[in-house]
Amino acid sequence: MNCDYVAFEGIDGSGKSSIIEQLSKILNENKIENKIVREPGGTKVGEGIRELLLSHDYKVDPLTEALLFCAQRSQLVNELIKPSIQNEIKILSDRSAYSSVAYQGVGRELGYEKIYQLNDIAIGGFWPEKVVLLDIDPLVSLDRQKVADRIGSDKIEFFQNIREGYLRLSEEFSESFLVLDAEKNLEENLMKICNWLGIDKA
Ligand code: TYD
């Protein structure tokens, strides 16, 4: 595998989790040690913050939301991601700081550049080396969703803007992004990911 830290991004219901699980299995078969982490969460502090962020019980102001995402992310990078990589464990991350640029920066209109900078501070510049973006029309993805959390139950325009935010990121950072059509079948997308990451698919 040609990198240590790869993130999977996309709007709610884009199918990140299934792809990550399959990829992790392939890595295991190839005896490549790997860990799946999820954002928000991944650490004890982060899971506590996750509850504040996603429960329908709280009304969270947009800037507070952005700062809470940064807080759980700072903890995750320092407590889990960096030490794992130092121990030669590959990180497959279900979301990353790029989610915040798309969701809080563009979706919540806090500013693409501003939220990028805020996250850059939170993670000390430790961005994922590669990003798989599962691109999909929100009309399709939201239909796939089973139970929506607080953020995932927003209106369709919110997700259309987030999708645009992701596509802007993929253009700005084209050398580290792989954009896939999330409506294509999982096997096909998995094959593309393996080729891109330099993994043999048994
Ligand atoms: P997640 O658990 O990945 O949910 P899903 O599997 O539905 O994608 O993410 C939870 C929600 O948090 C999701 O609606 C996206 C949102 N989110 C942000 O708004 N900003 C962020 O920085 C992150 C990591 C997630």
Q: Hey, is 154 helix, strand or coil? A: coil
- For the Cβ of 169 lying below 6 angstroms from any atom of ligand 1, the answer is no
- Helical spans, DSSP H, in the chain: 16-29, 44-54, 62-76, 82-86, 97-100, 112-122, 138-144, 156-172, 186-197
Average pLDDT in the 141-166 region? 92
Q: Cα–Cα distance between 174 and 168 in angstroms, integer?
A: 9
- Read off the pLDDT of residues 10-44 as tens digits, 9 standing for 90 and up: 999 999 999 999 999 999 999 999 999 999 999 99
> What is the set of domains in the chain, with CATH numbers?
5-197 (3.40.50.300)
Q: Hey, is 133 helix, strand or coil? A: strand
For residue 189, pLDDT over 80 is answered with yes
- For the Cβ of 40 lying below 6 angstroms from any atom of ligand 1, the answer is yes
pLDDT at 143: 84
- For the Cβ of 119 lying below 6 angstroms from any atom of ligand 1, the answer is no
Tell how far the Cα of 184 is from the centroid of ligand 1, in angstroms.
Answer: 22
- For the Cβ of 135 lying below 6 angstroms from any atom of ligand 1, the answer is no
Q: pLDDT band at residue 165, thresholds of 50, 70 and 90?
A: very high
Q: Cα–Cα distance between 155 and 141 in angstroms, integer?
A: 13
Out of 8, 12, 19, 120, mutate this one to test ligand 1's pocket (max ligand atoms within 8 Å of CB): namely 12
Give this prediction's pTM.
0.96
For residue 202, pLDDT over 70 is answered with no
Tokens 């969703």, located at residue: 145
- Read off the pLDDT of residues 39-91 as tens digits, 9 standing for 90 and up: 999 999 999 999 999 999 999 999 999 999 999 999 999 999 999 999 999 99
